Amino acid sequence: MTDIDVDTTVRFQISGRIARPIDEVFEAVVDPGQLSHYFTTGGAKGRLETGATVTWDFADVPGAFPVHVIEVVPNERIVLRWNATDKAEDGSSYETTVTMSFEPLDSERTLVTIAEAGWRATDEARESAFDNCEGWTGMLCCMKAWLEHEINLRDGFYR
């Protein structure tokens, strides 16, 4: 990676409550089989474990891409790094950091918070951040529908 002008204020955070115990919610993210049911509709390969590099593929953005797993603390936190969708002026890529936090609200409900940060200080990068915010919001909605009702909201949504 090259030195880039990163705007630390270009970040977002979203949250959602899922009516399932924390261990079920956490497992639905780290297990590629479950993740593929409601989010990575093109498939996920590899369990999210500290130090792993997994691949995610989406029907709406064809082509699997790598996701670097920085940290996994069971039932608490997942930290990922992946390529930003915008490029530097010289065409080089850089990564953003995604942090997923899991908090039990009671024995049957979990608060999931997803934050992403690390974009360059450009209009194109800010647009990428908004796109990702939309994607993570969709992920939380889809996870809720899948875990609470076994409904795949992404099925047929994009194609």
How far is it, in rounded angstroms, from Cα 85 to Cα 59? 16
pTM of the predicted protein model: 0.90
Alpha helix (H) ranges present in 68-113?
Answer: none
Show Cβ contacts of residue 82 under 8 Å, excluding neighbours closer than 6 positions: 65, 66, 67, 68, 95, 96, 98
* C-alpha separations of 100 from 90, 97, 158 in Å: 31, 10, 25
Average pLDDT per consecutive 10 residues, the chain (159 residues; last block may be shorter): 55 96 98 94 94 91 89 98 82 90 97 95 89 94 96 80
pLDDT of 5 reads: 53
Q: Which CATH fold topology does 11-149 show?
A: Alpha-D-Glucose-1,6-Bisphosphate; Chain A, domain 4 (3.30.530)
Domain borders along the chain are 11-149
Structure tokens at 119: 């974009």
- pLDDT tens digits, residue range 134-154? 999 999 999 999 999 999 888
Helix H or strand E segment including 133: helix 123-149
